[in-house]
Amino acid sequence: MTLIGATDAELIVRVAVWGGLAIGALILLALAAHVLRKRLYSTSDRMNAARGFDLETLRSMHEAGALSDAEYRALRANAVAVLRAGGESAATSAEPSRSR
């Protein structure tokens, strides 16, 4: 494959083919990155969306006195259930009432 002696039409075809392959490779790479990113963040995003808190936030809220023992246990159990279910909706339990 030499470019010496190639006609303009042949050069245009070669550039178009290789350019198309390069663009296709970039599209596949972007798609793979999107799928990988979605998989990496799906569990934590689903858990946070389910309750709005992660386990560390719940623990710090409980230690600061913002959550009672019963509230902390109920929210922690629900967060753990969501994580164990793979981010799917866990058995819905009523949120504990805020009696303060």
Residue 55 CA to residue 80 CA, distance in Å, equals 8
Spatial contact of 76 and 58, defined as CB atoms under 8 Å apart: yes
Share of the chain above pLDDT 70, in %: 68
Domain residues for the domain of 64 are 8-84
Taking the C-alpha atoms of 81, 93, 66 and 86 in order, what is their torsion angle to the nearest 10 degrees?
A: 20
Confidence of residue 41 (pLDDT cuts 50, 70, 90): confident
- Phi first, then psi: give them for residue 15, nearest 5 degrees: -65, -40
For helices 55-63 and 69-84, give the axis angle rounded to 10 degrees: 170
Residues in the chain: 100
Domain count for the chain: 1
Which pLDDT value is given to residue 43? 62
In a domain, 69, yes or no: yes
